[in-house]
């Protein structure tokens, strides 16, 4: 049967993918409590809707950092799309572009950033992709990645800040999943050329000074991804960030970390409108998107559901995932008495 929600897509993807690939995508750190909590935290928030409001004309359009979007749902950075489908990140980029939203391409992609940007640019009027970035011990290569993102026309850099070291993912340990199969590679690294391309190596001594260094290195907008504490959101502002993504890495780094939707309002209040705040982790329904917007997020980002759609039906599957969420959000807005994104606020929530 045709999937009618994101859970259907996950079940279909699990049937289609080899177990080690499904577990790589689905798995989290240790007991995966944070993976589960990211989702279940949304279910504890209730909607206290309004009635007798004219919702005959509704718009999901919004903007993030002056990038116009047709809906407040971005594609979060996830690695290794070619494990899900031969067209990999190219299919994802085209689906995002056709949906009128932004794909945040992973630095650990199986397709180079230049090709992802070209795929997006082939769709007239499509938003430009952003590039997710790690600051590596090899500072020269990090600088090179920034320059490549600029040259490719990326709209922003998304610096992941919650990974000084790799988390322990026990599903991968059991499968001995430690490297890509033959024929696939970390395309952004192999594209660098040279006798020995750099490796994806986390930087354990990463500090706020590295954020300041990146700010001085590029004029592109910079968002910090991996913020779960309001004090760090304020520090992000002080060190020149243009936005924050509230994220716990999909529960893949530190188990028992707080659910992102629970800390979102604290961070929104601390920043007080001085930065746009996005959130990822656990978004599976249009009502989840509405709740995040009501708590002050400018938009949400989805990761695993995109991979499920990609695995099931390539570009068409990713497009379907985005359209399912679009329709669910539109319905939720109508039933809550909201005709536009701007009308969604905390008044609608029973926390």
Q: What share of the chain is helix, strand, coil (3-state, %, to 5)?
A: 45, 15, 40
Query: What's the predicted TM-score (pTM) here?
Result: 0.97
Instruction: Quote the pLDDT of residue 200.
Output: 87
What are the tokens at 77? 């950075």
According to the model, what pLDDT value does residue 193 have? 62
Q: What is the Cα–Cα distance from 285 to 77, expressed in whole angstroms? A: 19
Please indicate whether residue 175 is annotated as part of the active site.
no
- Classified as helix, coil or strand, 67 is strand
Which of 81, 85, 239, 249 is catalytic? The answer is 249
6-181+217-350 to CATH, choices 3.30.2420.10, 3.40.190.10, 3.30.930.10, 3.20.20.70: 3.20.20.70
pLDDT (0 to 100) of residue 199: 78
CB-based contact 29:254 (threshold 8 Å)? yes
Cα separation, 92 vs 82, in Å, equals: 10
CB 75 within 8 A of CB 301: yes
pLDDT value at residue 213: 98
pLDDT mean for each 10 residues of the chain (351 residues): 96 98 98 98 98 98 97 98 98 98 98 98 97 95 96 98 96 94 93 66 95 98 98 98 98 98 98 98 98 98 98 98 98 98 98 87
Tokens of 304: 């695993």
The per-residue pLDDT for 344 is: 98
**What is the pLDDT at residue 194?**
58
H-helix segments, the chain? 6-16, 19-26, 33-43, 88-99, 113-121, 139-152, 170-175, 187-190, 208-217, 230-238, 260-271, 286-294, 304-335
């Amino acid at each position: 049967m045709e999937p009618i929600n994101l859970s259907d897509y996950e079940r279909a993807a699990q049937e289609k993918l080899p177990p080690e690939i499904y577990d790589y995508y689905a798995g989290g750190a240790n007991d995966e409590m944070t993976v589960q909590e990211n989702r279940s935290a949304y279910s504890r928030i209730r909607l206290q809707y309004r009635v007798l409001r004219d919702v005959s004309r509704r718009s999901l359009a919004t903007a993030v950092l002056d990038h116009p979007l047709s809906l407040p749902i971005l594609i979060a950075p996830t690695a290794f799309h070619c494990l899900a489908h031969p067209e990999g990140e190219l299919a994802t980029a085209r689906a995002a572009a056709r949906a009128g939203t932004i794909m945040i391409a992973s630095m650990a992609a199986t397709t180079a950033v230049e090709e992802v940007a070209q795929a997006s640019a082939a769709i007239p009027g499509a938003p430009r992709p952003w590039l997710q970035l790690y600051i590596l011990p090899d500072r020269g290569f990090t600088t090179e990645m920034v320059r490549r993102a600029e040259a490719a026309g990326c709209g922003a850099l998304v610096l992941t800040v919650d990974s000084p070291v790799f988390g322990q993912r026990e599903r991968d340990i059991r499968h001995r999943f430690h490297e890509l199969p033959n024929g696939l590679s970390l395309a952004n690294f192999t594209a660098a050329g040279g006798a020995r391309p750099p490796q994806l190596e986390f930087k354990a001594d990463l500090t706020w000074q590295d954020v300041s260094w990146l700010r001085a290195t590029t004029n592109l907008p910079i968002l910090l991804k991996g913020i779960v504490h309001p004090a760090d959101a304020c520090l992000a502002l002080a060190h020149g960030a243009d936005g924050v993504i509230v994220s716990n890495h999909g529960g893949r780094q530190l188990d028992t970390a707080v659910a992102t939707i629970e800390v979102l309002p604290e961070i929104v209040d601390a920043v007080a409108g001085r930065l746009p705040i996005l959130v990822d982790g656990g978004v599976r329904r249009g009502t989840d998107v509405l709740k995040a917007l009501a708590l002050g997020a400018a938009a949400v980002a989805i990761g695993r559901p995109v991979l499920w759609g990609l695995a099931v039906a390539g570009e068409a599957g990713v497009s379907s995932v985005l359209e399912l969420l679009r329709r669910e959000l539109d319905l939720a807005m109508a039933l809550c008495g909201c005709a536009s994104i701007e009308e969604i606020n905390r008044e609608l929530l029973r926390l």
